[in-house]
A and B are shown apart, each in its own frame.
Chain A
Amino acid sequence: MTNTNKLVALLIALVLLFTVGCGGSSNPSAPAAGAKDKNDLKVALTATPPTIDMHKTTATVTQQVGWHIFEYLVTVDDKYQVVPSLAEKIEISPDGKTFTFPLRKGLKFHNGKDLTADDVVASLLRWRKYSTIGRAVVAPATITAKDKDTVVITLPKPSSALLPALAYPSQGAVIMPKEIIDEAGDGNVKKFIGTGPFEFVEWKQNQYIQVKKYAGYKSAPGPTSGLSGKKEALVDNIYFYLVPDPATRVAGLQSGEYDAAEGLPTDSYETLKKDPNITVQINKPSSYVSMIFNTKSGLFADAKKRQAVNAAIDSEMVMKAVAGTPEFYELNHGLVFKEQVWYVDSGKEKYNQKNPELAKKLLAEAGYKGEPVTIITSRDYDYMYKSAVVLKDTLEKIGMTVNLEVYDWPTVLSKRGNDKLWSIFITGFLVTVEPSQTLYLDSRFNWAGWYNSPKMDALLDEMRESPNMEQAKKAFEKVQALYWEEVPVIKFGNLHQFFATRKNVKGAQFFCDKQYWNTTVK
């Protein structure tokens, strides 16, 4: 080496040292989890919500953030029974047509304004305008403020579906101040102001949504039960980080960048379970995986062909492909979960038949001649793609011709609106408070798949108009039996939710989805 070369080599060494040193020098001052001295909770969510205006969207992420800020007039306890929330009590007239909700005293919105009956009326009217379930159940009702603290809902016929609709968490009937609603017009609300234990602070696009403890919060009386009872903000701030990449959520949780992470891939279960800093949770009931038939046009307008497919399905095989290990799924026929009061056994024999011979016979009877079945699905949600692959195989084994079309999720959403483009798509359904809320059963919801059975609609109305739970449940037995008879949708099985926190996070409860009130970080 010449002198020059030595000099240059020295230069490189210095440069490398400098670069490495830069990385190193910031370490001592940087405790891994960032702000451990602060009483903040950092949660990694899977996607960015379209808005936090809960009246306007059915998106799950909106609810995951929104219900920390907003509250419902009534809500559900751990048995999924409707109980008061902002209302002090629920009074039902003897004829079952008038519902009176006196409000709890002294409640204030995050902007300092008193909660009045006018705010509740304005909120419920706005919610009814946008929510499918709201329209279906509350449309014929008159909603009025009897006085400053009392809301009255009057129906032309008695309905057991009204209270569950008001308590349904997704696209929920949350209460906002009247002036915020007036200001919004047809658009989204400009300010997110509710009565919940946390108040909205800031939304940094593509980074996080910050909420802080609401000092003036008044919890409903009684112990915590489901979404009802005592709710308390035990941290100063919650940061909902928007982290679409699942590997990043896992790594961020392990390194302490996040205290809790949602929607974790099931294949990281073993790794996270072994990590001494992590607590894993398998949450249920969460959702069920289903395939939806296009019953409006094409092959599956014919119920017999749908029955043929149902005869062939091996639910175990689908769910195993979806969830990997048995810890994450459960085979069950019910349109409601067995934890719920509505759970019934009807139609059970038609679930998980694994009978390809019967399927072939039914197909032949229905006159199937090899017309192609188009399954549209997406890799954006792992479970959809995996179940579609198993389904394709199952259908081919009974002699059907199958095209599997894989798109990104927005494309699937737009294609499924056109009945000429698909035969089957896969999706998941969340817990309902009352089974007539199930989207695909009622033709008047006009949801993708377009199942239209006057018999089913009549049964659903019978159920909704039942004067008591006992009769309503009897009607639901018939609903579920008819569902498995006409199979507009085939339920594969229940899929549990995989959730994990750092060891220092205590009290994060799962009910329908995750709640971070009553949660501490130490």
Chain B
Amino acid sequence: MAKYILKRILYLLPVLAVVAVVDFVIIHLTPGDPAAVILGSDATDMDLAKLREQLGLNLPIYAQFGRWLWGVLHGDLGWSIFMDMSVSTAIWQHLGPTVSLTLLAEVIAIVVALPLGVVAAANRGTWIDQSFMTLALLGISIPSFWIGLNFILLFAVQLNWLPAAGYQPLSNGLVNHLKYLIMPAVSLGIMQGALIARMTRSSLLEVLNENYIRTAEAKGLSRFVIIFKHALRNAFIPILTVIGLTFAVLIGGAVVTETVFNIPGIGKLIVTSVMRRDYAVIQGAILMTAVAYVLINLVIDLMYVLIDPRVRLSK
């Protein structure tokens, strides 16, 4: 097991190397000039040239890459020219809101989706199944920012129940924290939940056709025991995979939702940094996202073993 984990972590290295190079090249090939953004639109050419030199932006791209890579290998993700702080600090500061939002959205998604998927599968072909799956299809099709905007109009502008946008850290109280996060979390959760519900249904249906389920039925076990004890656990691996994927996507920052709700998370950090061409921050945040993605997948793989002992990892 330990060997397996070590191997998986070593696999991380080539992935990260590719991400680092592609990431750097794309960002630096995009036109745009951080110096012009810093100095404002009224700045003159002379001042711009001076600042570019000061920031090391006039170096050839391979030299800039070398500089950056050297830093990264020493655990230094670089310095944000705008925020005047290290990139690691910037990411750390923006991680909290994203983690809270992700967890809450994921909990909402799972809590709604699993029962929906199970009921739909258990009542396959009936109106219950059809209406649940129509709902799920709607959930997948409607962009979460659109749901978010409508939530804002309804709950914030019309009813005045919830704040329209913004963020309060957990240290300001749980109720305050949730009050700001509930609308974005639900609008993200709907989409993720719809995916999970569909996967739950189809995975469960497949298992329900197995012989051992028929045996269980023949033995006279109750529907409840069959579904929850025998079928669901066997159907759970693909469901877990989807949950893992949605989680990994969310942790990389729900870019649009975070912008609409003005939540200072990783997605917002990436968007503002792109708008300002704050190269080091974009690179750092993307690298961080890649690491998180790979690690979450690793955790999911390990969880397979817990759920299904037939899976052997060490091979």
Residue numbers of A with Cβ under 8 A of B are 2-5, 7-9, 11-12, 15-16, 18-19, 22-24, 26-27, 29-30, 32, 34, 48, 50-51, 56-60, 62, 130, 132, 170-171, 186, 188, 204-207, 241, 243-245, 247-248, 251-252, 254-257, 380, 407-411, 413-415, 417, 427, 439, 445-448
Contact = CB atoms under 8 A, between A and B. Distances in A.
Nearest to B37: A410
Contacts of A50: 37-40, 82, 276
B10 interface: no
A171 to B, nearest CB: 7
Interface residues of B, number: 69
B291 interface: no
Contacts of A130: 47
A3 B262 contact: no
Contact of A19 (B108, B118, B277): B108
A58 B37 CA distance: 10
B46 interface: yes
B261 interface: yes
5 nearest A-B pairs in the assembled complex, by CB-CB distance:
A58-B40, A414-B33, A413-B36, A58-B42, A59-B40
Contacts of A7: 224
Interface in B176-194: 176, 178-179, 182, 186
B32 to A, nearest CB: 4
B164 A171 contact: no
Interface centre among B85, B262, B276 (most CB of A within 10 A): B262
A255 B162 CA distance: 8
B272 A5 contact: no
A19 B112 contact: yes
A58 B39 CA distance: 6
Interface of B is mostly: helix
Interface of B: 30-34, 36-48, 54, 82-85, 90, 93-94, 108, 111-112, 115-116, 118-119, 122-123, 149, 152-153, 156-157, 160-167, 175-176, 178-179, 182, 186, 222-224, 227, 259-262, 264, 268-269, 272, 275-277
Contacts of B44: 132, 445-447
Contacts of B153: 251
A46 to B, nearest CB: 12
Given A414-B31, A448-B45, A4 B116 contact: no
Contact of B223 (A4, A18, A51, A60): A4
A5 B123 contact: yes
Interface centre among A7, A26, A62, A409 (most CB of B within 10 A): A26
Contact of A414 (B36, B54, B269): B36
14 contacts: A4-B224, A5-B122, A8-B115, A19-B186, A23-B186, A51-B38, A58-B39, A241-B262, A243-B262, A252-B156, A254-B164, A409-B37, A413-B32, A446-B44
Given A58-B41, A439-B42, 15 more contacts: A3-B222, A19-B186, A23-B162, A26-B182, A30-B163, A50-B82, A57-B43, A58-B43, A207-B166, A207-B167, A245-B262, A247-B260, A248-B164, A256-B160, A413-B32
